[in-house]
Amino acid sequence: MRDKYLSFHKVDENTTELFIYGDIRKKNLIEKWLDIPTDATDAFTLKDALNQVDTPNLIVRINSYGGSVSEGLAIYSLLADFKGNVTTIVDGFACSAASVIFMAGNTRIVPENGLLMIHNAWTEASGDSNAMKKVAEDLEKITQPSINIYVSKTGMSEAKIKEMMDKQTWITSQEAFDLGFATSIERNEARQSLECDFVHGLVMQVKSLERELEQKNNEVVEPPVKDAWTSFFERKED
């Protein structure tokens, strides 16, 4: 199966490669009606394509800013249920719903210049205070399955995962490995676009600044301790 953003390529009798590049979402009505090619990957299309895979090994290469939570969770389930070995590799970014899909791999690889990003589910809403409270409650429930997946795969506490998602955290390859999101770090160059390369550099600069600020905040500057006699004679000299 070949498409611009969602494609399968049979490497040999043992391995098939799947590329998930672009948004994680269903096609809208206009795109379906006019059969417009899009950058969208949806669970229904993926399901049909997975049924054609006849190799024991599946490599899933991801470069996506994410998209629909429901589609991401559905794709995660489809890959997790694959009757074989699944390896997920970040070719640039695996953000939001795409990071959930990444967690479906038995082997999970983030190259040195790859990035993950996790955050809470969000939406747009209108209405009175009761409607807003309901939306907030719903978003917490919608976010929870992703939290459960991160916790089960990384072994981290739910509280720590929630803290990271609250902060909309970018995760470098080394951090992904150290925290358990990735099982290994790939040393060779990722298939990364100029846009991805720019954002990667920006994220690394921000992380460096955060470390500097944290270090400064932890530094406690204490005034020299003076005894009463020293203070007295200093005042007399003034």
Predicted local confidence at residue 161, as pLDDT: 97
Highest mean pLDDT among 41-45, 155-159, 221-225: 155-159
Q: How many helices (H) and strands (E) does the chain have?
A: 9, 8
Instruction: Give me the number of domains the chain comprises.
Output: 1
CB atoms within 10 A of CB 211: 10
Least confident stretch, 24-33, 36-45, 138-147, 169-178: 24-33
Predicted local confidence at residue 229, as pLDDT: 43
Least confident stretch, 57-61, 73-77, 127-131, 144-148: 127-131
Residue with the bigger pLDDT between 58 and 35: it is 58
Domain-embedded: residue 1: no
pLDDT band at 2 (very low <50, low <70, confident <90, very high): very low
Sequence-distant (≥ 6) Cβ neighbours of residue 106 within 8 angstroms: 85, 86, 87
What is the rounded end-to-end Cα distance, in angstroms, of the chain?
87
Residue 230 has pLDDT above 60, yes or no: no
Q: What percent of the chain has pLDDT over 70?
A: 75
Residue keyed to tokens 């969602």 = 6
Residue 237 has pLDDT above 60, yes or no: no
Domain-embedded: residue 58: yes
Distance from C-alpha of 71 to C-alpha of 92, rounded to nearest angstrom: 20
Q: Rounded to 5 degrees, what are φ and ψ at 28? A: -80, 175
Residue 96 has pLDDT above 90, yes or no: yes
pLDDT band at 62 (very low <50, low <70, confident <90, very high): very high
Domain-embedded: residue 112: yes
Domain-embedded: residue 206: yes
Domain that holds residue 218: 6-237
Distance from C-alpha of 40 to C-alpha of 237, rounded to nearest angstrom: 78
Residue 207 has pLDDT above 70, yes or no: no
Q: What stretch of H or E contains 24?
A: none
CATH number at residue 128: 3.90.226.10
Average of pLDDT values for 129-139? 88
Domain-embedded: residue 71: yes
Distance from C-alpha of 161 to C-alpha of 172, rounded to nearest angstrom: 15
Average pLDDT, the chain: 82
Domain-embedded: residue 22: yes
